[in-house]
Amino acid sequence: MTDESRSETTTIDRYGVMGYPVSHSRSPVIHRLFALQTGQNIQYELLQVSPEKLETAIRQFQRTGGKGLNITVPHKSEVTKLVDQTSERASTAGAVNTLSFKGGEIYGDNTDGIGLLRDLAVNLGVAIEDANILILGAGGATRGIVGPLLEMQPASIQIANRSLGKAAALADHFAHSGPVSACRFNAVPVSRPYDLIINATSAGVKGEAPPYPAAAISEISFCYDLSYGLQPTPFSVWARQVGAAQSVMGWGMLVEQAAESFNLWRGVRPETAPVLKQMKITA
Ligand code: ATR
């Protein structure tokens, strides 16, 4: 790097994604495409940070003038302890995926839920109001999406999990906000068909294939996997095989949550459709 280019880059607003591991993250590509599209001059870095170094790394990024960070697996819950102010949606989710550094303070937000809603409702035309929804899994990903989904007034949300305890705890947590109940995978009530089935387990990512409840899927079911890959995920393949109306991976949610973060940081909402296309994704 020449002295001239070095002095240029120091004036560029810096952002990044912190995770562990993080090398496979698509966020740098997505944010560079957003920046090109909107004419924003930003730098976006991949930052691999282990859990024990998270606080030091965030403080250092802040101290050296960084403007914002995306926080990804496994730090989304832990980082809530390090922020000075938290948005309501991040508090409800119990997780932060976006940090903004302003006036010496750290502001934590969560754009995952709105990212999923935008992909479902705007990009894919899935009606959530009055829908019967089944969510598979009861970890952090589920906790992040139940609140935003309930705001759209579905008829019901059933959380099914391998072990009942975590699903029951989440159903209790959200019981005051809407009709949420819990069960084990092998006890999913099928008296009414599910309009929307969301896979929020981490099974596929770990190469595991749990006994997903095939009886819950019917020809009206829209199946959505929060996971995504260049090859179809195990859940998306399974959903097609057992007769779902449609089976989609979470590429759109990834791009939409990024657009929401970009908007928080830069005050400009990028167009997501061309970015999804440019990533050569058949979502
Ligand atoms: P995340 O933040 O991605 O949700 P998490 O909090 O570790 O990650 O939760 C992972 C979820 O995937 C849990 O619901 C977990 O089920 P358990 O609560 O029974 O552990 C689910 N999960 C992971 N591997 C699974 C598998 N092989 N079969 C079924 N469920 C699995």
Instruction: List pLDDT tens digits, range 34-83.
Output: 999 999 999 999 999 999 999 999 999 999 999 999 999 999 999 999 99
Give the Å distance between the CA of 34 and the centre of ligand 1: 32
Stretch 20-47: mean pLDDT, rounded? Answer: 96
Per-residue model confidence (pLDDT) at position 32: 96
Only one residue has tokens 């935003």, namely 148
CA of 49 from ligand 1 middle (Å) equals 23
81 C-alpha to center of ligand 1: Å? 23
Q: For residue 11, what pLDDT band results from cuts at 50, 70 and 90?
A: confident
Q: Quick one: which atom of ligand 1 is closest to the CA of 226? A: 3
Task: Please report the pLDDT score of residue 259 as a whole number.
Answer: 98
CA 274, 275, 281, 283 torsion-angle sign: negative
Is the CB of residue 170 below 6 angstroms from any atom belonging to ligand 1? no
Ligand 1 atom nearest to CA at 210 = 28
Residue 192: its pLDDT value, please?
87
**pLDDT for residue 280:** 58
**Ligand 1 atom nearest residue 95's Cα:** 2
Mean pLDDT of the chain: 93
Under 8 Å between Cβ of 124 and 116: no
Cβ distance 91 to 38 under 8 Å?
Answer: no
Q: Which fold has domain 113-252?
A: Rossmann fold (3.40.50)
How close is the Cα of 222 to the center of ligand 1, in Å?
21
27 lines ligand 1 (CB under 6 A): no
Predicted model pTM: 0.93
* 171 pocket-lining for ligand 1 (C-beta < 6 Å): no
Nearest atom (ligand 1) to Cα of 74 = 2
pLDDT of residue 277: 87
What confidence score (pLDDT) does residue 281 get?
Answer: 56
- For ligand 1, say whether the CB of 163 is within 6 Å of any of its atoms: yes
Task: Choose among 212, 209, 215, 150: nearest CA to 181.
Answer: 150
CATH 1.25.40.10 fits 3-110, yes or no: no
- Catalytic residue numbers read 76
Residue 58 near residue 18 (C-beta atoms within 8 A): yes
> What's the 162 CA to ligand 1 centre distance in angstroms?
8
Note every long-range contact of 127-132, with CB atoms under 8 Å and residues 24 or more positions apart, other chains counting.
127/195, 128/152, 128/153, 128/154, 128/196, 129/153, 129/154, 130/154, 130/155, 131/155, 131/195, 131/196, 132/156, 132/158, 132/192, 132/193, 132/194, 132/195, 132/196
Q: What is the pLDDT, as a whole number, of residue 208?
A: 86
CATH 3.40.50.720 maps onto the chain at: 113-252
Where does the chain hold its CATH 3.40.50.10860 domain(s)?
3-110
Identity of the amino acid at 219: E
For the stretch 147-184, pLDDT in tens is 999 999 999 999 999 999 999 999 999 999 999 999 99
121 pLDDT exceeds 90?
yes
Distance (Å, whole) CA 203 – CA 192: 26
**Ligand 1: does its nearest atom lie under 6 Å from the Cβ of 166?**
yes
pLDDT band at 247 (very low <50, low <70, confident <90, very high): very high
pLDDT (0 to 100) of residue 283: 40
Regarding the beta carbon of 248 and ligand 1, being less than 6 Å apart is answered no
pLDDT tens per residue, range 95-113: 999 999 999 999 999 999 9
